[in-house]
A and B are shown apart, each in its own frame.
Chain A
Amino acid sequence: MKLFNFYKNTFKHGIHPPEHKDDTKDLPIKQFSFAPVFILPMEQHIGGPSELLVNEGQEVDRGQLIAKANGYMSVPVHAPVSGVIRKITKVPTVSGKMVTGVYLEAFPYSGQEVREGIPLDPEDASKEQILNAIQQAGIVGLGGAAFPTHVKLKVPEDKQCDVLLLNGVECEPYLTTDHRVMLEQSDDVFMGIRYLLKATGAKKCIIGIEANKQNAADHLEKNIPEGLPVEIRVVPVKYPQGAEKMLITSVLDIEVPSGGLPIDVGVVVVNVATSAEIGRLLPHGQGIQERVVTITGPGVKKKGNYLIPIGTPIRYVLEEVGISDQISEVYLGGPMMGVAISNLDIPVVKGTSGIVVYTKDEVPDVQREFPCIKCGSCVDACPISLNPSKMGLLSRVKAYDEMAETCNLMDCFECGSCSYVCPSNIPLVQRFRIAKSIVRKRKAKAHA
């Protein structure tokens, strides 16, 4: 049975890039020091920007609400530090866009105690109360996409959630935050599961973990609280298994319909770190002020997993951990789907799972692009069985509509496996991103 499962417990195709996790996977989470000035953009999540509640010059306490949710698809922002609002202005973000935000100057001698709010007991609270509390705590998916968690947890009237699937896969190379969270914050993870089960109405919870984190799986398995319907499932190491749909296929052996959501097959997927955050904040009625970030890569001197207050400028982070003189690229997130930044004066936000610093040696020279030799590597790599080779040829002639209509372009979730394997260095996923955005714009235009 076990042997049978070994082959079964994963999705088709995918790739296995070098993991690079050894540098940080055994390093316990360390509290990061407070920066002198914090940058808090109002757009840290997908959805409407948060609405500022403070004025320039106002003093705030750590954990205090400084911006409220602007509508259902939005979450609030809390002060990561006790200090004074120095400036309300446009601040730089990962996307390169300037958005409304604040500069918050920390009080250097503050005790940085977080005020207690109204606690919520998972057993007594109603579904709506929990969803509301999750939104008020400012929680978004901590895996990287920063989708408001309460929206994801809201099961539509006509659907039912059978399984709550916790994502502890962490398939991106270099990143070890979820690994450390599972090892060090298992009680918070399980506490979060109590709220999540109640909120979704799911009868059981499965935690999917890749085999390179066996110790985390063992630790969680040992500590499952009495009576909590939690099952640990170890899956083979493979990228992009952390993608919701891939994880669902790996663990439950079902496919989410094209264009559909996990709830269409009765599943809600939540990142383990998000669950830990819910389990830590809700019992105290607090808002999110910090998150675990892996700081690693060949250019970093003090690599590690750090609990970093949200809003800490990347420049300050890198100064504290020390970087080599030869740095050439900095990525937020993992190297497969993360974003390269050119500006170090952007802050760590809720969605920042890692900071990876490369030196000149690691970044290859601009590689020559060969013609497609139809080797089929991309077809064998694509986790959702698209035909990147064909789409690549269509994108050359700008046949974007044909790509969408006949090649399921819009199903591509941009994992980059095709570009990773392509021997001809053809920027496949990069072209598909462009194609997708053009198709989206055309559709929007057609509807308008």
Chain B
Amino acid sequence: MRNQTLNISTSPHLKKGVTTDVIMKNVVYALIPATAFSIYVFGLSALLTIGMSVTSCLLTEHFLCKWSGKASTINDYSAVITGVLLGLTLPPIFPLWMTFMGGVIAIGLGKYLFGGLGYNVFNPALVGRAVLQAAFPVAITTWYPALMSDRFTSVASSLYTLPFMQPFFDGQSGATPLSAFKFDHISAETTDLVFGFVSGSTGETCTIAIVLGGLYLIYRGMMNWKIPVSIIASAFLFSGMLYLYNPELYPTPWFIVFSGGLMLGAFFMATDMVGSPITNLGVIIYGSFIGILVVIIRIWGGLPEGVMYAILLGNALAPQLDRVIQPRVYGTSKLSKS
């Protein structure tokens, strides 16, 4: 036997082999049903919104990496996820330049400023959306009816509005189920909400498409199922209690759970691994906190929708939960010191 050169490495010499980019790629796959459905419901406008959002996130990530002299990290797929999620939370007729700005803010402010993937405190897509909500309150609450007959042949003119121009929404806006309930007290049919044939943000309307993607990730072991379950369960229980107390005044728990961005938020935004706690107990507290907050904001807050703020506040709570809650170490009787 001739002399061999042998490699040296330290144990373990086996790896599970599911790397971060593989997880991220699968999250993108899991978002396909919701994305496809939103394009079906809102047509070319949704396609343009999501496309612009993804493009701006990728460009921002790439540019910031180059600018700081690092290798580009766009191929870890995390910027794609941010782009898709941001696009899905925006109204389908949102001016494209605003969407572009949202992507730049999401990556630049929400992610890069904190140190990039893994270091951001808040979900970048929601940071982007929160800034857009503050800057363009009218545009972001101007909706578009679902299933317009010309949705595949024409595009809402407001998409092409340029900066410093007042977007003209040419009377196409329609109330979302949440705003209809909030301001006019009209409750939508639960089945319409589940299937998503209602107006609203691009991709948050169809519960079935979102849950399908979520189940895929749970099946692949790439999503912590305890997060969506605790958010949905706590929102359901809390709103259920209110509904039982006064059915005239408060919406049904079904309405709360299936309307607005709750499903998308619970499955794809609150579950962002970076912004959620690590321990089991922490995750359940985090999820319940978000679920209850959503109900509070929706019912007593000034806005019809509260998922975005609830998750951002949950993100703020997560590091604290991680600090306080540690798993009980084997062979120790008390919770270990933190």
A contact set with B: CB distance below 8 Å: 11-12, 15, 17-18, 173, 245, 249, 255-260, 315, 318-319, 323, 327-331, 333, 335-342, 344, 356, 358, 363-364, 367-368, 370-376, 379, 382-387, 389-390, 405-408, 411, 416-417, 419-421, 423-425, 427, 429-430, 433
Interface status of B192 (Cβ within 8 A of chain A): no
Interface status of B134 (Cβ within 8 A of chain A): no
What's the Cα separation between A236 and B140 when bound, in Å?
Answer: 54
Which of the residues B6, B328, B330 comes within 8 Å of A340, measured between beta carbons?
A: B6
Which of the residues A330, A364, A411 comes within 8 Å of B330, measured between beta carbons?
A: A411
Most buried by A among B14, B279, B326: B14
Which of the residues B4, B330, B337 comes within 8 Å of A384, measured between beta carbons?
A: B330
Closest to A415 in B: B12
Indicate if the CB atoms of B117 and A370 lie closer than 8 Å.
Answer: yes
Indicate if the CB atoms of A339 and B11 lie closer than 8 Å.
Answer: yes
Which chain A residues border B6 with CB–CB below 8 Å? 327-330, 340-342, 344
Which chain B residues border A371 with CB–CB below 8 Å? 115-119
Indicate if the CB atoms of B4 and A258 lie closer than 8 Å.
Answer: no
Indicate if the CB atoms of A340 and B15 lie closer than 8 Å.
Answer: no
What's the Cα separation between A257 and B330 when bound, in Å?
Answer: 8
**The 6 nearest A-B residue pairs measured at CB:** A371-B118, A384-B330, A416-B12, A258-B331, A335-B13, A385-B327
Most buried by A among B11, B12, B23: B12
20 pairs, A vs B, C-beta closer than 8 Å: A17-B14, A255-B331, A258-B329, A258-B330, A258-B331, A259-B331, A315-B1, A327-B6, A330-B6, A335-B11, A336-B12, A364-B15, A368-B19, A374-B118, A374-B274, A382-B327, A385-B329, A390-B278, A407-B336, A423-B20
Which chain B residues border A260 with CB–CB below 8 Å? 331
Which chain B residues border A173 with CB–CB below 8 Å? 14
Indicate if the CB atoms of B331 and A245 lie closer than 8 Å.
Answer: yes
Indicate if the CB atoms of B7 and A363 lie closer than 8 Å.
Answer: yes
Indicate if the CB atoms of A340 and B7 lie closer than 8 Å.
Answer: yes
Indicate if the CB atoms of B20 and A424 lie closer than 8 Å.
Answer: yes
Q: Classify chain B: how many residues form its interface, as a range.
A: 35 or more
Interface status of B224 (Cβ within 8 A of chain A): yes
Indicate if the CB atoms of A374 and B11 lie closer than 8 Å.
Answer: no
Indicate if the CB atoms of B19 and A424 lie closer than 8 Å.
Answer: yes
Indicate if the CB atoms of A335 and B14 lie closer than 8 Å.
Answer: yes
What's the Cα separation between A374 and B119 when bound, in Å?
Answer: 9
A94 nearest CB across to chain B (Å): 12
Which chain A residues border B244 with CB–CB below 8 Å? none
What's the Cα separation between A356 and B328 when bound, in Å?
Answer: 36
B contact set with A: CB distance below 8 Å: 1, 4, 6-23, 76, 115-119, 224, 273-274, 276, 278-279, 322, 326-332, 336-338
Indicate if the CB atoms of A406 and B336 lie closer than 8 Å.
Answer: yes
What's the Cα separation between A260 and B333 when bound, in Å?
Answer: 13
Indicate if the CB atoms of B118 and A370 lie closer than 8 Å.
Answer: yes
Indicate if the CB atoms of B11 and A336 lie closer than 8 Å.
Answer: yes
What's the Cα separation between A330 and B9 when bound, in Å?
Answer: 10
Indicate if the CB atoms of B7 and A379 lie closer than 8 Å.
Answer: no
B73 nearest CB across to chain A (Å): 9
Sample of 11 further A-B pairs with CB below 8 A, known A416-B12, A417-B12 = A319-B1, A335-B11, A336-B11, A336-B12, A370-B117, A382-B327, A390-B322, A407-B336, A423-B20, A424-B118, A425-B15
Which chain A residues border B21 with CB–CB below 8 Å? 370
Closest to A412 in B: B329
What's the Cα separation between A347 and B182 when bound, in Å?
Answer: 78
Which chain B residues border A255 with CB–CB below 8 Å? 330-331
Indicate if the CB atoms of A376 and B273 lie closer than 8 Å.
Answer: yes
Which chain B residues border A356 with CB–CB below 8 Å? 13
Which chain A residues border B331 with CB–CB below 8 Å? 245, 255-260, 384, 411
What's the Cα separation between A133 and B68 when bound, in Å?
Answer: 68
What's the Cα separation between A364 and B338 when bound, in Å?
Answer: 37
What's the Cα separation between A12 and B327 when bound, in Å?
Answer: 12
| CB contact under 8 A between A373 and B118, given known A342-B8, A386-B327, A420-B15 | yes
Which chain B residues border A408 with CB–CB below 8 Å? 329, 332, 336
Indicate if the CB atoms of B330 and A367 lie closer than 8 Å.
Answer: no
Most buried by B among A249, A256, A379, A423: A423
What's the Cα separation between A376 and B332 when bound, in Å?
Answer: 21
What's the Cα separation between A425 and B76 when bound, in Å?
Answer: 14
Indicate if the CB atoms of A373 and B9 lie closer than 8 Å.
Answer: no
Indicate if the CB atoms of B12 and A376 lie closer than 8 Å.
Answer: no
